[in-house]
């Protein structure tokens, strides 16, 4: 059974990036950063914290490992 946990939007504004995450768990949250990698890190860390109780046995990547995989 599949379930959507998050919907994520990322927009580039003048000199910065804005991200919005939508979930039934936390509602809507907005993030902003001048660097896309830091914006992604912030979003990932927030999602990990929100889902920590539900997925405590699942292995997660550290933000630096995730950024290395993007390269």
Digit-coded pLDDT (tens) for 11-67? 999 999 999 999 987 889 999 999 999 999 999 999 988 888 666 645 555 666 655
pLDDT of residue 28: 94
pLDDT of residue 53: 63
pLDDT of residue 64: 62
Residue 5 confidence class, pLDDT cut points 50, 70, 90: confident
Q: Specify the pTM.
A: 0.69
pLDDT of residue 69: 58
**What is the residue-wise DSSP string for 8-67?**
EEEEEETTEEEEEEEETTTEEEEEEESSHHHHHHHHHHHHHHHHTTTTTTS----HHHHH
Where are the chain's structural domains? 7-70
């Amino acid at each position: 059974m599949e379930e959507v946990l998050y919907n994520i939007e990322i927009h580039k504004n003048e000199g910065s990036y804005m991200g919005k995450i939508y979930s039934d768990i936390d509602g809507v949250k907005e993030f902003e950063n001048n660097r896309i990698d830091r914006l992604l890190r912030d979003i990932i860390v927030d999602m990990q914290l929100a889902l920590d109780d539900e997925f405590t046995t699942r292995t997660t990547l550290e933000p630096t490992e995730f950024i290395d995989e993007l390269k």
